[in-house]
Amino acid sequence: MQFYEYDIECIEKARKLIDADISSHTTIAALAMKSGLGESKLKAGFKKFYGSSPYAYLRQQRMIKAAGMILESRKSMKQIAKATGFRHTNNFITAFSAFYHITPYRYRQQKLPEK
C-alpha cells in the first residue's frame, strides 16, 4: 500500500489523538473518521510507521504511563487503572502483568529505592 504525504499526516494525527487521551478507548472507525483516512489505510499505515495497530499502540502507551505512575506515586492500583483507561482493577493488573511479565505490585516493590 502506498502512502502519500496527506496519508502520513492523517496517521500522525491519529497517533496524536490517541496520545491526547489514553484513558479513553476510541474505536478504529471513529479514529479513522477523526483523522481523515479509511480504516484499512489507517491500520496499515499505523503498522508501517509505528510497528503496531492503533489499539496495540494505545495499550503500550497505557502501560508506559501506568509504570510511571506506579514508580512515581503512591496511588492505589485502582486509581492507576482508572487513569489509564481501565474500568476494572483486575483487568488492569492482568494487562500490566501480560505486558511487563510482572504484577504491578511486584513492579513497585522492585523499583522502590531502599530506605
Residue 14, domain extent: 5-51
46-64 pLDDT, tens digit per residue, is 999 999 999 999 999 999 9
Residues 23 and 41 in one domain: yes
Residues 97 and 75 in one domain: yes
Residues 17 and 46 in one domain: yes
Residues 45 and 78 in one domain: no
CA distances (Å), 21 to each of 4, 15, 16, 27, 85, in order?
27, 10, 9, 13, 9
Q: What pLDDT shows up at residue 113?
A: 59
**Number of domains observed in the structure of the chain:** 2
DSSP-derived letter for residue 38 is: -
Residue 5 grid cell: 504525504
Q: What pLDDT shows up at residue 47?
A: 95
Q: Which residue type, as a one-letter code, is found at position 42?
A: L
Residues 34 and 42 sit within 8 Å (Cβ to Cβ): no
Q: What pLDDT shows up at residue 39?
A: 94
Span 27-38, mean pLDDT?
94
CATH number for the domain harbouring residue 105: 1.10.10.60
Q: What pLDDT shows up at residue 112?
A: 61
Q: What pLDDT shows up at residue 26?
A: 85
Residues 43 and 81 in one domain: no
Span 22-45, mean pLDDT?
93
Q: Which residue type, as a one-letter code, is found at position 59?
A: R
CA 95 from chain centre, in angstroms, equals: 11
67-112 pLDDT, tens digit per residue, is 999 999 889 999 999 999 999 999 999 999 999 999 999 999 887 6
CB count, 10 Å around CB of 30? 12
Residues 82 and 43 in one domain: no
Residues 105 and 76 in one domain: yes
C-alpha angle 45-46-52 in degrees, rounded to nearest 5: 135
Residues 43 and 10 in one domain: yes
Q: What pLDDT shows up at residue 36?
A: 94
pLDDT-derived band at 114 (thresholds 50, 70, 90) equals low
- pTM value is 0.86
